[in-house]
Chains A and B, each alone.
Chain A
């Protein structure tokens, strides 16, 4: 469903280096990594918000490397949600439909249906400034889902929430993803989140993909000290680390 072939991107001194990932249709894929590892940039490259300088991106077998963001059919929920502050929750959700010139009735029906799915009907008339973090997160998700994308990109979707809500929302995200059959990339720096939702995961550090696979595999067979450390298995490394003995 989503395939990247050695994509590279540079901004200042940071570089996303020849990143290749394959994500199957309907898969819930979690991209893990410490802050500043390039996770958000990777999502923005997939969306077309950043132009890669080498490599190729395929969605559903079609090359989209040079397509505009609007032509890629991707639903995107950025970190901090970026809800339009001059619109109500309902207007935010209906935004994409209005841009695509949907009829008023169909717009209303689709907004109502999506609001029902996410249990946010009571929020529709509210202004964005008055919403809590969790409410904003669901409105932003609704805004992305209302266009019925096949792919959903979530950038740290629960990082602004408290721990209890975070777990709850992760379960809801997984439930929605399964119901709608969405191919999802969920970016996070939190391992617990990944264990709640991920079919597979990848670990990114300093713009380099360290390892990708099912979480059990990452846990059992980390291929580097960094992955082991990230998976908190440093003491039981099944590999020999020679980096400290080099001169």
Chain B
């Protein structure tokens, strides 16, 4: 095993401890890789060709990418001010607000879809948005973004709050004495220091949005060429018995996700890997 130059001299007890921690890393990695390799062996050439040629699957891939990226950007747009406010300010109901942020994480996925469907189909404000304002979500591509936002924004907000908690307030205080307003100290000091944590939160959010399935099936359905995303395509293919095609799409989804996560980590720097 390669060891870093700045590690202390280690005795046999330390080596056992290191080996034990690495054992868990190995078991998990091997388990995940085994699952992927199993999929690879089960998929045949014909299935791969079908996936690459099908315009519907290409549409679903494109749909998955743009909706998840849009949902992530909207989530980050909310997460940064919300994370800062929850970290820095104490207001009546602060604890309740903090708990509500986590609620969508523990929602069963189907409940999120069902709740959205009920809100937009059966309640007056929901119908006003859909019918009077003309912003339609139910069974529409916009609904995919909304579903992904509801299911994934909590990850971005929680990450942002945690990273703002970690930024020492003294930096902002010094900035205030150097002429900053609170906004300027946030922009010039707090935000750059929190940058990597916010990006890491963005990765989690995107990953959650990209692979979302349950709420989408209820709220927007899976209409070919319209509201179909990769995760729902997998479900449709396997439900009609095309297991090989379903697995080939699953591999495509895993591949895209892996490329995206690795590239963002490389761009974001080593600090992201810590999260």
Residues of chain A having any CB pair with chain B under 8 Å:
44, 47-49, 68-70, 72, 74-76, 78, 80, 82, 84-86, 95-96, 99-100, 143-144, 147
CB under 8 Å from chain A, chain B span 176-193: 176-181, 184, 188-189, 192-193
Q: Which of B46-54, B117-125, B128-136, B167-175 contacts A (4 or more CB under 8 A)?
A: B167-175
Contact B170 A70 (CB under 8 A): no
Contact-size category for B: 10 to 19
Contact B170 A78 (CB under 8 A): yes
Known contacts A85-B193, A86-B192, A86-B193; is-contact A68 B170 (Cβ 8 Å): no
Contact B174 A82 (CB under 8 A): yes
Q: In the complex, which residues of chain B have a beta carbon less than 8 angstroms from the beta carbon of A75? A: 177
Q: In the complex, which residues of chain A have a beta carbon less than 8 angstroms from the beta carbon of B179? A: 70, 96, 99-100, 147
What are 18 A-B interface contacts by the 8 Å CB criterion? A44-B173, A48-B176, A49-B173, A49-B176, A49-B177, A74-B177, A75-B177, A76-B177, A78-B170, A78-B173, A84-B193, A86-B193, A96-B179, A99-B178, A99-B188, A143-B174, A144-B177, A147-B179
The answer for the CA separation of A69 and B181 in the assembled complex, in Å, is: 9
Q: In the complex, which residues of chain A have a beta carbon less than 8 angstroms from the beta carbon of B193? A: 84-86
Q: How far is the CB of B163 from chain A (nearest CB, A)?
A: 13
Residue of B nearest to A79 (CB): B170
The answer for the CA separation of A85 and B179 in the assembled complex, in Å, is: 19
The answer for the CA separation of A144 and B177 in the assembled complex, in Å, is: 9
Q: In the complex, which residues of chain B have a beta carbon less than 8 angstroms from the beta carbon of A95? A: 175, 178, 188
Q: How far is the CB of A185 from chain B (nearest CB, A)?
A: 14
The answer for the CA separation of A96 and B176 in the assembled complex, in Å, is: 9
Contact of A84 among B176, B177, B189 (CB under 8 A): B189
The answer for the CA separation of A128 and B184 in the assembled complex, in Å, is: 21
- Give a binary string over B68-99; 1 marks a CB under 8 Å from any A CB, 0 the rest: 00000000000000000000000000000000
Residue of B nearest to A153 (CB): B177
Q: In the complex, which residues of chain A have a beta carbon less than 8 angstroms from the beta carbon of B189? A: 84
Contact B171 A70 (CB under 8 A): no
Q: How far is the CB of A168 from chain B (nearest CB, A)?
A: 25
Known contacts A82-B168, A86-B192, A86-B193; is-contact A68 B176 (Cβ 8 Å): yes
Q: In the complex, which residues of chain A have a beta carbon less than 8 angstroms from the beta carbon of B174? A: 76, 78, 82, 84, 143
Known contacts A82-B170, A84-B171, A85-B193; is-contact A70 B188 (Cβ 8 Å): no
Known contacts A85-B193, A86-B193, A99-B184; is-contact A69 B168 (Cβ 8 Å): no
Residue of B nearest to A99 (CB): B179
The answer for the CA separation of A101 and B273 in the assembled complex, in Å, is: 36
The answer for the CA separation of A114 and B180 in the assembled complex, in Å, is: 21
Contact A147 B192 (CB under 8 A): no
The answer for the CA separation of A86 and B171 in the assembled complex, in Å, is: 11
The answer for the CA separation of A150 and B184 in the assembled complex, in Å, is: 23
Contact of A82 among B173, B184, B192 (CB under 8 A): B173
Q: In the complex, which residues of chain B have a beta carbon less than 8 angstroms from the beta carbon of A82? A: 168, 170-171, 173-174
The answer for the CA separation of A76 and B89 in the assembled complex, in Å, is: 24
The 9 closest A-B pairs by CB, nearest first: A96-B178, A99-B179, A69-B176, A82-B170, A76-B177, A70-B179, A82-B174, A86-B192, A69-B177
Q: In the complex, which residues of chain A have a beta carbon less than 8 angstroms from the beta carbon of B184? A: 99
Question: Max chain B CB contacts within 10 Å: which of A75, A86, A144, A147?
Answer: A86
Residue of B nearest to A47 (CB): B177
The answer for the CA separation of A217 and B184 in the assembled complex, in Å, is: 45
Q: How far is the CB of B194 from chain A (nearest CB, A)?
A: 10
Residue of A nearest to B179 (CB): A99
Contact A70 B173 (CB under 8 A): no
Q: How far is the CB of A5 from chain B (nearest CB, A)?
A: 22
